[in-house]
Amino acid sequence: MSTPGSSSHQYGLSTDLFVSHKESDQTLVLGGVGQGSKRWVHVMTRRAAQVMWFKLTTLLYPEKAGLVTALAATAPLRAPPSNSVTTHMEVVKGEDGNYRLVGWVQRDTWMVALTETDARRLWASLDLALYPVGWEGRQSKPRKLN
């Protein structure tokens, strides 16, 4: 998978995944614990996170994916804010039943393996981070109580 001048980081089967973001920022942070209890973290563009959410939706919920993904607002393709941000994601289901996430940071790649349970947890975390008030793309705003 590596080409001259590129590198590949493989974290192995990972757990304790999290996704976080700042509402004013167009990047999200994905992290977890890989093999050997090694923690890993990657910053990704909103679009890369949406691609991962879309792929997970299709793989985990094929019977509802068409409806759910049609309702989701998408992010425009933009230049990454820095050279260390993941700009594209791929998700595939292996023959062993585990899911493989592959992220691209310029010419470098990183890979994570997930069980189906952890893939579903990741999907839920992504769903909340990307669409906190629903898939229609509405922005959440504080409401006055009086």
Task: For residues 18 and 31, give the distance between their C-alpha atoms in angstroms, rounded to a whole number.
Answer: 5
Say which residues have a Cβ less than 8 Å from residue 123's Cβ, sequence separation at least 6.
53, 56, 57, 60
How much is the pLDDT for 8?
A: 87
Nearest to 122 by CA among 142, 100, 106: 100
Cα within 13 Å of Cα(51), Cβ side = 18
**Fold designation for 8-130:** Secreted effector protein pipB2 fold (3.30.2450)
How much is the pLDDT for 75?
A: 57
* pTM across the whole model: 0.73
Structural tokens at position 76: 């425009």
Q: Burial, 130: exposed, middle or buried (Cβ in 10 Å; 0-12, 13-18, 19+)?
A: buried
Query: Element (H or E) spanning 20, and its range?
Result: strand 15-21
- The tens place of each residue's pLDDT in the chain, 146 residues long, gives 545 667 889 999 999 999 998 767 789 999 999 999 999 999 999 889 988 988 898 898 888 877 776 666 665 556 666 778 898 999 999 999 999 999 999 889 999 999 999 999 999 999 988 887 665 444 444 444 44
How much is the pLDDT for 76?
A: 57
Indicate the domain borders of the chain: 8-130
Place of tokens 């039943």: 97
How much is the pLDDT for 146?
A: 44
Three-class DSSP labels, 80-131: CCCCCCECEEEEEECCCCCEEEEEEECCEEEEEEECHHHHHHHHHHHHHHHC
